Amino acid sequence: MVSELINANPTVYEKKERRVRSAPSDDADEYAVEPIDQPEVFDILSLELDIKDPEHPYSLEELKVITEDAIEVDDKQSYVRVTFTPTVEHCSMATIIGLCLRVKLLRSLPSRYKIDIRVAPGSHASEAAVNKQLNDKERVAAALENPNLVDMVDECLAPSFG
Amino acid sequence: VTISALATCTPSSTARAWFTAPHPYLPLLASASSDKTVRVYSLTSFTLISTISGGHKRSVRTCAWKPGVTGDAESVLATGSFDASAGIWKADNGRTRVGGAALQAVEEGEDATDAEEAFQFAVILEGHESEIKSVAWSCNGNFLATCSRDKSVWIWEALDDAPGQGAMNMGDGGDDEDNYETVAVLQEHEGDVKCVAWHPTDEGCLASGSYDDMVRIWREDADGEWGCVGVGNGHEGTVWCVAWEPEASADPTVATTNGDEGEAVSGPRIISCSDDLTVRLWRRKPKAKPKLPTGPRMPSIIRSSSDEEVWYEDSRLPQRHGRAIYAVAWSKVSRRVATAGSDGRIVVYEERQTSGAGDATPMSIDGQEGEEEGRPRPNSEWDVVSELEASHGMTGPVLSFNMSL
């Protein structure tokens, strides 16, 4: 589909060491509210299902498109903001990557969450336009009614077995 | 003023409720849903009395009831969908009447086919290239405006095939073929057109708001040609909704704004809300008295420039929303303004007249914007009179709210 790669030689980084999640002990109140935190959202986006770069077999984490630091979580306000960094500043896949991030969070987080997705300041030639589109509720809803786009998103969100 | 939840309409759709519209004279509420249907609820029992389905292939984004009066034989609902088409639906009021057999059947859990089938698909309006975002009827119901992600506003005229016959007399289900004609396609916006709103009394004027951050005002000229006559330029984010100031109160004790430079000269104001978290009030600059032509009347090519209108930001409402403001409404009854935002908040504002413009502090909203000639200072302020938090989530049931003094 993409005849020429937008970024033919991306820098690939090591994956981050994961913290070990403690299993809840038997006497813990299983109905206790467990706040969602930054590492958890990062895990949702990068570990539990590797979101792949649409044009490379690497995960967004390996390409440093998303890092844990770029995820802001406010559980009390039910708010998440993800700032991602496209590998090249004219990356035409930026809106797709952003849509994948949003869809993944929509499917994983409780519905009370408000989600903002943006590209890192200065990281994209059409930063304002990309951000505007990624956060327009109608554009996002309409995109998710488009079978071709949904297929593309699902492909990015498919677990990697590599 | 306090707002409290009145009722939840049941059963609710599990899909997103995009837009709700109360019926102009019956206690009914239409709710456009992303499940491709419109649900019509009773506002007395808050139960579902009809589901309109089968007409749209994608989300129904919006809907609007054609204006009417008590006693009309039928109700007309326009819908706009992400499938790029608009639908016109009709219902015999006898079959939807509240307290009538149809509703009772629903309440008693009996076969509700009568109510279910109350709405009949009348006509589909095709022309837009992509998602329709908003539809609106002109004040007398003669025109329908639709707007879309394709950056255009379309105006449709309902053609009356039975001239001389008032709508009130058409109760016998005669063969009234529905026919709509495109009278204008307006394409000046540079982004998705998010909303359209007709002038409260003039069927030759409407306003729109867009993803291009602009408000545009459109008018029909004497030759029946539509064009953009003015812009509200200043928002720094998508303009999600615009609303016109309701017709001036007939009560002479209610002061008109701005004295002699007020509504009589510049007409009703427009209010807009945006992704930039502001709610702005726009006012048309009063036109200078046209100089009487001394010679023979100039040809009409000159006239077009005199059609241009200068709209300026008159004031801003207090900022209360923390996320995008999606809707604004201006009450005909109380003349209060209400906004709703992505932050789940509903805010109600009330205008308060301040002392004359003379001793008002200079306007400095923009800093660089100086005192423009002929630009009166606002002589009113807006107070927040009520706020309700966590009124809505992203998805959820349709709620009704009650406001009391």
What's B139-160+189-249+262-288+304-357+374-405's CATH class?
Answer: mainly beta
Give chain B's count of helices (H) and strands (E).
5, 26
Using an 8 Å CB-CB cutoff, list chain A residues near B32. none
- Answer whether B346's CB lies under 8 Å from B387's CB: yes
Closest C-alpha among B253, B169, B184, B188 to residue B224: B184
- Check B211 against A132: CB less than 8 A apart: yes
Assess B164–A contact: CB distance below 8 Å, yes or no: no
Nearest to B58 among A112, A135, A145 (CB): A145
Is residue A108 domain-resident? yes
Q: Does residue A87 lie in a domain region?
A: yes
Other Cβ atoms within 10 Å of B179 Cβ, number: 11
The predicted model gives B330-356 an average pLDDT of 89
**CB contact residues (below 8 A), chain B span 305-324, against chain A:** 323-324
pLDDT value, residue B173? 41
pLDDT of res. B290: 56
Give the pLDDT means over successive 10-residue stretches in chain A (162 positions): 63 69 57 74 64 69 83 90 88 86 89 92 94 96 93 76 40
Cross-chain Cβ contact A145/B238 below 8 Å: no
The more confidently predicted of residues B365 and B209 is B209
Average pLDDT over residues B189-206: 97
DSSP letter assigned to residue B362: P
Residue B169, pLDDT score: 36
Average of pLDDT values for B34-43?
Answer: 93
Burial B187-223 (b: 16+ CB within 10 A, else e): ebbebbbbbbbbbbeebebbbbbbbbbbbbbbbbeee
pLDDT averaged over every residue in chain B: 81
Residue A134 · residue A104 · CB < 8 Å: no
Please judge whether A111 and B16 are an interchain contact, meaning their C-beta atoms are less than 8 angstroms apart.
no
Strand B380-388 with B346-353, pairing: antiparallel
Category of B343 on φ-ψ map: left (φ > 0), alpha (ψ -120 to 50) or beta: alpha
Question: Is residue A63 one of the residues assigned to a domain?
Answer: yes
Q: Answer whether B119's CB lies under 8 Å from B54's CB.
A: no
Chain A: closest CA distance from residue B336 (Å):
27
Would you call B355 helix, strand, or coil by DSSP? coil
**Of A112, A135, A145, which has the smallest distance from its Cβ to B59's Cβ?**
A145
Whole-number Å distance between alpha carbons of B354 and B380: 5
Amino acid B167: pLDDT: 40
pLDDT, greater one: B141 or A26? B141
Average pLDDT for residues B199-224, to the nearest whole number? 96
Q: Which residues of A touch B211 (CB under 8 A)?
A: 132, 136
CATH homologous superfamily of B12-126 equals YVTN repeat-like/Quinoprotein amine dehydrogenase (2.130.10.10)
8 Å CB contact of B16 and A141? yes
**What pLDDT was estimated at residue B165?**
41
Q: How far apart are the first and last CA of chain B?
A: 5
The domain that contains A152 carries what CATH number? 3.30.300.130
Tally: H helices and E strands in chain A: 5, 3
Contact between A38 and A72 under an 8 Å Cβ cutoff? The reply is: yes
Task: Tell me if A26 is assigned to some domain.
Answer: no
Instruction: Please state the ipTM of this predicted complex.
Output: 0.80
Q: If pLDDT is split at 50, 70 and 90, which confidence band does B364 have?
A: very low
The CA distance from A65 to the nearest CA of chain B, in Å, is 26
Report pLDDT digits (tens) over B213-263. 999 999 999 999 999 999 999 999 999 999 999 987 544 444 444 444 445
Q: Do B196 and B147 meet the contact criterion of CB atoms below 8 Å apart?
A: yes
The answer to whether B40 and B26 are in contact (CB under 8 A) is no
Note the pLDDT of residue B317.
97
Lowest-confidence range among A13-17, B92-96, B187-191, B241-245? A13-17
Do residues B379 and B359 make contact, with C-beta atoms less than 8 angstroms apart? no
> How many folded domains does chain A comprise?
1
* Residue A44 maps to a domain: yes
Whole-number pLDDT of residue A90: 81
**B311-331 confidence digits (pLDDT tens):** 999 999 999 999 999 999 999
Indicate which of B130, B131, B239 best probes the interface with A, i.e. most A CBs within 10 Å of its own CB. Answer: B131
Instruction: Say whether pLDDT at B196 is over 90.
Output: yes
> Cα angle vertex A119, ends A118, A122, to 5°?
135
Where along chain B do its domains lie?
12-126, 139-160+189-249+262-288+304-357+374-405
Using the beta-carbon criterion (under 8 Å), do A138 and B394 form an inter-chain contact?
A: no
Does A64 contact B at CB distance below 8 Å?
no
Q: Which domain holds residue A123?
A: 38-157
Long-range CB pairs of B351-355, under 8 A, 24+ apart, other chains included: B351/B380, B351/B381, B351/B382, B352/B380, B352/B381, B352/B382, B352/B383, B353/B255, B353/B257, B353/B379, B353/B380, B354/B379, B354/B380, B354/B381, B355/B379
Asked whether the predicted pLDDT for residue B104 surpasses 80, the reply is: no
* Within-domain flag for A79: yes
Same fold, B12-126 and B139-160+189-249+262-288+304-357+374-405: yes
> Any idea how long chain A is?
162
Is there a contact between B255 and B215 (Cβ–Cβ < 8 Å)?
no
- Residue keyed to tokens 């300026």: B312
Strand B399-404 with B28-33, pairing: unpaired
Predicted confidence (pLDDT) at residue B394 exceeds the cutoff of 90: no
Does A138 sit within 8 Å of B149, measured CB to CB? yes
Average pLDDT over residues B288-303: 53
* Interchain contact, A132 vs B238, CB within 8 Å: yes
Q: Which of A48-52, A113-117, B208-212, B368-372 has the highest mean pLDDT?
A: B208-212
What one-character DSSP code corresponds to residue B26?
S
Residue B129 CB neighbours (<10 A): 10
Cβ(A53)–Cβ(A87) below 8 Å: yes
A27 within a domain of the structure (yes/no): no
Percent of chain B with pLDDT over 70: 71
Contact B151, B187 (CB under 8 A): yes
Alpha-carbon gap: B144 to the closest alpha carbon of chain A (Å): 22
Q: If you ran DSSP here, which 8-state letter would residue B47 be given?
A: B
Flag whether pLDDT at B68 surpasses 70: yes
pLDDT band at B403 (very low <50, low <70, confident <90, very high): low
Q: Is B74's pLDDT higher than 80?
A: yes
Average pLDDT over residues B23-48: 93
pLDDT at B313 (0 to 100): 95
Q: What is the largest CA-CA distance in chain A?
A: 56
The token pair that represents B388 in the structure block: 């309700």
- In contact, B166 and B196? CB cutoff 8 Å: no
Least-confidence region, from A21-30, B132-141, B153-162:
A21-30
Distance CA B39, CA B304 (A): 45
Judged against a pLDDT cut of 90, whether residue B353 lies above it is answered with: no
Q: B395: which chain A residues are within 8 Å (Cβ-Cβ)?
A: 111
Q: Are strands A79-84 and A114-119 parallel, antiparallel or unpaired?
A: parallel
Three-state SS for A55-122 is CCCCECCCCCCCCHHHEEEECCCCEEEEEECCCCCCCCCHHHHHHHHHHHHHHHCCCCCEEEEEECCC
CB of A9 within 8 Å of any CB in chain B?
no
Confidence of residue B119 (pLDDT cuts 50, 70, 90): confident
C-alpha–C-alpha distance, residues A117 and B50, integer Å? 38
Cβ atoms of B151 and B174 within 8 Å: the answer is no
Tokens of A67: 């890092």
Q: What percent of chain B has pLDDT over 90?
A: 55
Q: Cβ distance B205 to B198 under 8 Å?
A: yes
CB contact under 8 A, A111 and B393: yes
If 0-12 CB within 10 Å is exposed, 13-18 middle and 19+ buried, where does residue A7 land? middle
Name the residue facing A114 among B34, B238, B342 (closest C-beta). Answer: B342
